[in-house]
Amino acid sequence: MTSIAREAMYRSKKQTGGMFQSRADDARGEAGSLRRLATLNLRMSILKNSPNCWLRETDERRRKKSEALTTLENAHRDYYEMKMRMHMEIPGLLNRMEAAKQLLGGHKFKTWKLSLAEIEGNIATIDPCGLTLPELA
């Protein structure tokens, strides 16, 4: 091989190497652009979907708070209704207790061992007009 042939081969290889180097540089630049574009798209999709996610979470929290409020309102209404019933029943119970106390005032009992059903049954048998009790044995 002559020096001219070697020189021509060297230039050819140098041009080929330069061409591949140029292509590699272009590919690196394009990869960097694509990476930036992908990052930007990812950020945009996150920002776009984040409000929807926040809205869903907010709606879920609002729904739970609403359910808790409804439960509290129902409990308060039940309590108020029970309180009103008790206020209506207390005067009648006090009258029955006073009547029973007057009827049993002369009797002295050492102990009272009655079940709740017996007590309720005896109170239920007090006649508000005649005020009579069955015999307690």
Q: Report if residue 46 sits inside a domain.
A: yes
The count of domains in the chain is 1
Question: Mean of the pLDDT values across residues 118-128?
Answer: 52
Q: Report if residue 67 sits inside a domain.
A: yes
| % of the chain beyond a pLDDT of 90 | 19
Sign of CA dihedral 43, 47, 48, 53: positive
pTM of the full predicted structure? 0.38
Q: What is the pLDDT of residue 127?
A: 46
**Residue 136: what residue type?**
L
Where residue 1 falls among pLDDT bands split at 50, 70, 90? low
For 13-50, letters b (16+ CB in 10 Å) and e give: eeeeeeeeeeeeeeeeeeeeeeeeeeeeeeeeeeeeee
Q: What is the pLDDT of residue 99?
A: 85
CA-to-CA distance for 12 and 18, rounded, in angstroms? Answer: 10
Q: Which range, of 36-50, 71-85, 95-109, averages the lowest pLDDT?
A: 95-109
DSSP of 109-137: -S-----HHHHHHHHHT--TTT---PPP-
- Structure-model confidence comparison of residues 27 and 123, the more confident one: 27
Q: Report if residue 134 sits inside a domain.
A: no
Q: Report if residue 18 sits inside a domain.
A: yes
Q: What is the pLDDT of residue 122?
A: 55
Question: 54 lies in which domain range?
Answer: 3-91
* pLDDT per position as a tens digit, 5-42: 888 888 888 888 888 888 888 888 898 888 998 888 88
Cα 14 from chain centroid (whole Å) = 72
Q: Report if residue 35 sits inside a domain.
A: yes
Q: Report if residue 77 sits inside a domain.
A: yes
With a cut of 50, say whether residue 129 has pLDDT above it: no
Q: Report if residue 30 sits inside a domain.
A: yes
**Residue 37: what residue type?**
L
Where residue 56 falls among pLDDT bands split at 50, 70, 90? confident
